[in-house]
Amino acid sequence: MAEHDSAEHDSAEHDTYVTANQPYERDTRYIETRITRDAADGYPVEADRYRLVVSYACPWANRTIIVRRLLGLENAISMGVCGPTHDKRSWTFDLDPGGVDPVLGIPRLQDAYFARVPGYEKGITVPAIVDVPTGAVVTNDFPQITIDFETEWVEFHRDGAPQLYPEDLRAEIDEVNKRVYRDVNNGVYRCGFAGSQESYDAAYDQLFAALDWLSERLENQRYLVGDTITEADVRLFTTLARFDPVYHGHFKCNRSKLSEMPVLWAYARDLYQTPGFGDCTNFDHIKSHYYEVHRDINPSGIVPKGPDLTNWNTDHGREKLGGSPFGTGTAPAPL
């Protein structure tokens, strides 16, 4: 089993708030039920049975959107999309007609959590996989969801699907993921929601030390592990995509912008321009969520107009390092 992120999710803000004089600590409670081929937890891999509920705003959910598309699981697992903002109770389906998910028939993701655990008291979080027949959440264990997409749902992968978690590289992928989660994926939150100068300074230093380490690692290799895209690249990408629009200013991660870090900026553009990444990224939803919902650190709720994000489509030059995004596989079909 993959190394877990040891984190809860970008939720209905049950775990994202500033506590005075305290470092930010993310809630680590999951519904850890798995959907597997042997149905060990009571939920078998089965096409058309489950619905992945996401928001394009959330980096943890964004991972599942990308992996689902890269593997071609769209025909096996349907997807419900919540709006970019939510209230204190729950993510909501305000993008759908009448504000109701057309498959689950509910206005709030909270309803699916309550169907599993009445009065569920933990974070109502995305991503979540819902069992459509019962309307109950099966799991919100986001690190395991993508690993299981890659290893348990193989029967439903598209022809030419890439190997995102190849057996011979799993130990290295897990090792890289562990540091990337601790210092980068969650590191930006530890900066943004720090409750003291001391905890902010420590998180800031740890974040940029890790980004420097990643820059050095990626200077002479196109991808994080091996010569093709893996789970490690997906996990780093969703944080990098949010860095300049949100984390640099909103979370005070301002030593430098992503666009001022040459290696990481080229790497991020390479991924963004790869089918399955940029077409699964919604900068408007990202900005709306962070600036409108996080009133602890942006009391006005004003969403900045900048930065100009057209530069994501500029040449990156990473092809010269070799490697191939999908290895012996192929790109997913255009949306």
pLDDT digits (tens, 9 = 90+) for 34-84: 999 999 999 999 999 999 999 999 999 999 999 999 999 999 999 999 999
**pLDDT per residue over 108-135, tens digit each?**
999 999 999 999 999 899 999 999 999 9
Say what the pLDDT of residue 4 is.
Answer: 40
**pLDDT per residue over 155-195, tens digit each?**
999 999 999 999 999 999 999 999 999 999 999 999 999 99
Backbone angles phi, psi at 33, to 5 degrees: -55, 140
Interval 77-104 mean pLDDT: 95
Say what the pLDDT of residue 143 is.
Answer: 96
Say what the pLDDT of residue 1 is.
Answer: 41
Q: What is the CATH number of the domain that holds 232?
A: 1.20.1050.10
Query: Is residue 68 in a domain?
Result: no
Query: Is residue 327 in a domain?
Result: no
Q: Helices (H) and strands (E) in the chain — how many of each?
A: 10, 4
Other Cβ atoms within 10 Å of 274 Cβ, number:
19
| pLDDT at 9 exceeding the cut of 70 | no
Residue-by-residue DSSP string for 50-88 = EEEEE-TT-HHHHHHHHHHHHHTGGGTSEEEE--S-B-S
Task: Tell me whether residue 24 is one of the annotated catalytic residues.
Answer: no
Say what the pLDDT of residue 87 is.
Answer: 85
Among 127, 76, 75, 59, which Cα is nearest to 280's? 59
Query: Is residue 313 in a domain?
Result: yes
Query: Is residue 53 in a domain?
Result: no
The pLDDT > 90 percentage for the chain reads: 88
Catalytic residue among 56, 189, 247, 267: 189
Task: Tell me whether residue 181 is one of the annotated catalytic residues.
Answer: no
Burial grade of 260 (CB within 10 A; 0-12, 13-18, 19 or more) = exposed
How far is Cα 232 from Cα 225, in angstroms, rounded to an integer? 7
How far is Cα 72 from Cα 166, in angstroms, rounded to an integer? 17
CB-CB contact of 244 with 254 (8 Å): no
Catalytic residue among 24, 56, 58, 223: 58
E strand or H helix that includes residue 138: strand 136-139
Query: Is residue 292 in a domain?
Result: no
Query: Is residue 22 in a domain?
Result: no
The pLDDT > 70 percentage for the chain reads: 92
At position 155, the amino acid (one-letter code) is: E
For residue 265, say whether it is annotated as part of any ligand binding site.
no
Which range of residues forms the domain containing residue 171? 167-282+308-321
How far is Cα 10 from Cα 129, in angstroms, rounded to an integer? 15
Residue 319 CB partners (closer than 8 Å, separation 6+)? 222
Distance of CA 327 to the CA centre of its chain: 23
Query: Is residue 300 in a domain?
Result: no
What total of structural domains would you count in the chain?
Answer: 1
Query: Is residue 122 in a domain?
Result: no
Long-range contact list for 6-9, CB < 8 A, 24+ apart? 6/181, 6/182, 7/60, 7/143, 7/181, 7/185, 7/186, 8/122, 8/123, 8/125, 9/58, 9/60, 9/61, 9/123, 9/125, 9/126, 9/127, 9/140, 9/142
